[in-house]
Amino acid sequence: MSNPTKRIVLTEDWTVVVLGFSIILLAVLGVLLPVPSFGWNNTSELLDKVLSGANIQKILIQLVAVVIVAVAGALLLGKSVKPFFTGLPVVYFLTILALIITGNSAAKDLNLEAVIFSLIIGLVIGNTVKLPEWLKAALSTELFVKVGLVLLGTSVIFSDILKSGSLGIIQALVVVVSVWYFAFWLSKKMGIDEEMGIMLSSAVSICGVSAAIATSGAIKGDSKKLSYVISLVLITAIPMMIFMPYAAKAMGLSEAVTGAWLGGTIDTTGAVAAAGTLVGEEALKVSTIVKFSQNLLLGVAAFAISIYWTVTNNPLAKDKDTKPSLGVIWERFPKFVLGFVAASLLFSFALSPETVSSVKGSLKNFQGLWFALAFTSIGLETNFADIFNKDSKKPLYAFLIAQGFNILVTLLVAYFLFR
């Protein structure tokens, strides 16, 4: 007799869509989570503001919400809920530590994002301490990431991007297509496996970490490869953020061209904002428009990549020329991408601006929290020996060469469109 607790009620992707839209629906109906404060300049503010009783209460309310969502996901998947009562709080408080570090004024001045510290904390602990099984069981990285991606759709507002300017959209299309195909071609030429090549190409060309995660979900990629790509994105984003504004000044580029160059090249949103701020107000505005335009292409790219991956990696085919049916494509298609697109369409066209304005702060905070939880989990699961070894040299070289190509192509397109 089968064990009913092991029966899968829904697939993980459909579970994520249900969870994500449940969160969105509750927010629209007025059930908004409080947003804790993590900003501080000195020890006094840390104790009186961030670690105050009122703020700790908000943090604990968020913990309860996270556990409820995770437990609901486990129930829908027919999995054990115990790890989310025992291990998830540990992951949560490690993530809160990362958020507190990020909230310091020094980190804010550099526009360092919480996911960077989440990953670092996870990596340090995961590579120095043997994790107990009850903690490992709570590291549901894909679930955390995909819930965050569905919620991310609520911040991709089509009308805002269209009003901000068509030039940013044109640049995003040209750069994403050209850089993605170059990076993918290069990866194949260097003998890198197709799965890694697709994740690298998406990370370089679209929007860094989010694109790598979405692509990994679309092709059901290996978590170790994803961790490696994320590490490359975060490591290269910081020096690019610092040196590119000075390079633009040395070349005598206008603020508009510089902003378009920064927004289309630097892979993380926070680093784009930091670099744009170093140049000026117009550069900051244009860089943000271009980055948002690339974010808009995330769902489209994940959809296209999932179709490509299904067609070219059909397990039911008797030979490589046999193409899968539409039913197989639908079965293997990552449904969380539909959740992302649906959330974006809902907030772009169905809800009133007043409703969007009233809920976006709470949803953005919760979305960021899920990403941070995922990065803490990735760090805890990742072994340095698996990432930085002789077998990882080719992907590193491919990423750096593709990023160099991205820098040059984006500069040419930005100069042509925004001069």
CB 92 within 8 A of CB 80: no
CB 149 within 8 A of CB 79: no
**pTM of the complete model:** 0.76
Per-residue pLDDT tens digits for 297-320: 776 777 788 777 777 765 544 444
pLDDT of residue 166: 75
- Whole-angstrom distance, CA of residue 142 vs CA of residue 213: 9
Percent of the chain scored above 90 by pLDDT?
41
Task: Judge whether residue 359 has pLDDT over 90.
Answer: yes
Return the top range by mean pLDDT from 38-42, 154-158, 267-271: 38-42
Lowest mean pLDDT among 247-261, 342-356, 386-400: 386-400
Residue position matching structure tokens 């959740």: 339
Confidence category of residue 415, pLDDT binned at 50, 70, 90 = very high
